[in-house]
Structure formats: C-alpha cells, structure tokens
Amino acid sequence: MSEITDDVLVSIRNLRIRFDVRDGIVNAVDGANFTIRRGKTLGVIGESGCGKSMTAKAIMNMVPKPGVMTGEVTLYKRHVENGSQVVEEIRIDQLDKDGEEIRNIRGGVITMIFQEPMSSLTPVFTAGLHIMEAVKLHRFLPIESIGDTMTRNIQKKREVSPEEAREIAIDMLQKVGLPNAAQRVDSYPHQLSGGQRQRVMIAIALSTHPELLIADEPTTALDVSIEAQILDLMRELQETVDMAILFITHNMGVIAEMADEMVVMYMGKEVEEGSVVDIFENPKHPYTRLLLASIPEIGEKKRELATIKGMTPSPFNLPTGCVFHPRCPDFMPGKCDVVKPLLATVAKNQNARCLMYDPCWPNTAEAQAVKAKA
C-alpha cells in the first residue's frame, strides 16, 4: 500500500507524535503508515488511547501542545488547470501551524466532524451561521475565465455573498435531512437534539466540498437508531460528492458498514491493515482476531462475553518487543518480548505487524506450528 498512485489523497509515512510530559515521554502515535484514497473510506479502529484521534489531528496539523510531530503527512491536492488535472503535493507537516495555507486546507480540503455533537457547535452561533462561516472562508464561486497564462486557466473567483451563504446553508441542512431547514437554520445549538446537531456538523463539513472528511467517532455519543441514520446519511452523501472519508471508531460493526479499507491500531502503531472484507473474513493479527471475537452475536446465548485479557499497557512503560505480547494468546516467549515486529505482507493487500508473519522469522518447527495455527 505504499506506492503512490494517482488515486492517493493523503499519505502518512512514519508518523510519530511525541508528548513530553512530566511523567516521561508518551508516544501517542508511534510510526503510523497508511494511505487515504480518493473517494474511498478508510476505517481506523482501536482501543481508547491508541492514537486514532491524534493521527486525525496530525492530518490537519493540529497536534495540540506540547505534542511534537515527526514523519510525513502529504496531501495530494488535485485541481483542474487548463483543462488537465494537476496534482499538487503539499507536505502538511511542514506547514506553519497557524499559517494561511494550512487554514485554507482545514475546512477547504479536509474537514472534520467530532465525537460529541453536543459540544462541537459554538453555543452563540445559529446552525446557519456555522455553515455560513465555513462557506465564507472556503467556498469561492467562479465568476468568469479571465484568460490563460502559461499553463493556468485563471478563473476569477469571488467570495460568497451573505445571501448566497444563507441559501447554501439552508440547502445543506436540507441535504443532511434536517426537517424544516429554512427555520432550523436560525436555531441555536441548544435548540437542537444530539442527532440534529451531528447533522448540522456534517452539513458544515460538507458545505465547502472537501476532498477528505475526517469523522472522529461521529456516532459514539448518539443512540443506535440515530447512529444508523447518520451513517446512512454519510454514505449517501459520499456517493454524491466524491470525497474520501477517514472514519475513526472503536466499533467493528460501524467499520464493517462504512469502510472500504481498514487499519487496526494498537498503542500508536497500526497492527493490521487491508480491505475490510479481507480482514473480517481472515484476520491475521492476534489482536484483530480477538477484537472480532469479542463482538457479541445476536441470537446466541453465551456464558460470557469474550474479552481481551489484561489492559492496555501504560504509555510510560511499554512492554519490550511486540507491545501486544503480554495480552497475546499466541505469545512466543523469547521471541515476542525481544523482537519488535515489522509490518509484513500476509496476504494480497493485507499487512500485519506480527512476528508470526515476519519473513525474517526462522523457519523452525515451532514457528511452523504457530503459523499453521494461524
């Protein structure tokens, strides 16, 4: 998945985010590599604190202080120039954090919706004002072509007028299925329910025609029926506007429903990646397998829910070798607690970070036995 092809939108290489805090150093993200493709949905799944949200923030260069980000985050911004498509490479990690350029990308190319719709809307703004603000900042309407320079077809663009912004706002609220959009546009957040607020968030996020929507656990705070509605809505809208979604969640069911490809993260590293169908059918990494096994099945009376034993280790005191080895059912003493596994290809378009699949793994009978078990 590392080759840069035409359909890559964002590629993240060797991303590390380090926090120097009083108790020591926390590596919130520890060498993440993945690629977001145009028009596709990438699901990121993992336990709380495994670096999912931090990765999302890194994509927007919004790592909070005192976090330090290293590695590469590259945005391949596509725009039409002179009739042909040109892809511009932007190293997001190298942009000034509060600069003009990143602010145009935030909201313009990449937008984000958050976990808690309750607190993501400014209480003093109406729903419409939120959308109008985003639209005013990021959406420009072409007026006319005013000529070509060397290679560029220059189009004069103007900002959206307040009346147009309001129209767009009402239109967007209608699109996200808010009843009475023309009235709701003047509602304050406290007058909306949780589901409605999340719809408004989605409306804001989509109002600027982004290329990537980062959805950071957008349905965690909602009840299941609303969750289903919101997910349906996002899928529908994605089909109509051709945008990529980075979907962060800790819910396997949601990933299965939404994503094309998925990344499983554990303690700041991705442990398995591949297409959703492959991973669900044939999970390779023990962690993924355990996660899938812990989904309770409807209609089956079980004695006890399957869990992953133990707890996530303290980030200040990570286990040696493979960070998952203390909880791993396939733990191989003398190996897993010594050697750090690398991401290895385990099947077509499926990688896992486990010594069982490491090509450098000595071809002993013991290893064969473990592999055969897998």
Partner 1 sequence: MTDAVAIPMEEKKKDAVKISQSYWSLVWWKFKRNRLAVVAAFILAGYYITCLIFPEFFAPYSKGLESDYIEARPTYPHFVDAAGSFSLRPFVYGLDEEIDVATRSRKFVVNESVKYPLYFFVEGEPYKLLGLIPAKTHFFGTDPANPDAKVFLLGTDRLGRDQFSRILFGGRISLFIGLFSVAVFLFVGVTLGAASGYYGGATDIVVMRITELLSAFPQEPLFLALGAAVPVSWPSTRVFFMVTILLALIQWGGLARQVRGLVLSGREEQYVLAARSFGASDRRIIFNHLIPATMSHVIVIATLKIPGMILLETALSFLGLGLVPPTVSWGTLLQNANTVRSISAAPWYLFVTPFILFAILAYNLLGDGLRDAMDPYSK
> How many residues bind to partner 1 according to rule CB under 8 A?
35
Asked, as a colleague might, if the bond just before 66 is cis with ω within 30 of 0, I would say yes
If binding is defined by CB under 8 A, does position 116 make contact with partner 1? yes
Which secondary structure element, helix H or strand E, spans residue 264, and what is its range? Answer: strand 261-266
Binding of residue 67 to partner 1 (CB under 8 A): no
Q: Which of 119, 294, 314, 349 binds partner 1 (CB under 8 A)?
A: 119
Residues 43 and 37: their CA atoms lie apart, in Å, by 12
Under rule CB under 8 A, residue 77 binds partner 1: no
Q: Contacting partner 1 (CB under 8 A), which of 36, 42, 73, 112? A: 112
The residue behind tokens 């897993």 is 336
Question: What span, in angstroms and rounded, lies between the C-alpha atoms of 370 and 174?
Answer: 55
Binds partner 1 (CB under 8 A): choice among 38, 103, 209, 250:
103
Nearer Cβ to partner 1, position 19 or 125?
125
Q: Does 138 bind partner 1 (CB under 8 A)?
A: yes
State the Cα–Cα distance between residues 1 and 137, nearest whole angstrom: 34
Among 20, 89, 148, 186, binds partner 1 (CB under 8 A): 186
Rule CB under 8 A: is residue 51 a binding residue for partner 1? no
The nearest distance, CB 211 to partner 1, in angstroms, is 14
Name which position in 125, 140, 280, 331 contacts partner 1 (CB under 8 A). Answer: 125
Q: Does 140 bind partner 1 (CB under 8 A)?
A: no
Cα–Cα distances (Å) from 341 to 108, 351, 354, in that order, read: 38, 12, 5
3-state helix, strand, coil in the chain (%, to 5): 30, 30, 40
| Alpha-carbon gap, residue 100 to 343, rounded angstroms | 37
Torsions phi, psi for 78 (to 5 deg): -105, 130
Nearer to partner 1, 121 or 234 (CB): 121
Instruction: For residue 261, count CB atoms less than 10 angstroms from its CB and return exposed for 0-12, middle for 13-18, buried for 19 or more.
Output: buried
The alpha carbon of residue 137 and the mean position of all alpha carbons in its chain are separated, in whole angstroms, by 23
Print the binding letters for residues 195-234 with partner 1: x by CB under 8 A, - otherwise. Answer: ------x--xx--x--------------------------
| CA–CA distance, 11 with 244 (Å, rounded to integer) | 13
Question: Least CB distance from residue 134 to partner 1, whole Å?
Answer: 5
List residues near partner 1 by CB under 8 A: 60, 62, 98, 102-108, 111-112, 114-116, 119-125, 133-134, 137-138, 183, 186-188, 191, 201, 204-205, 208
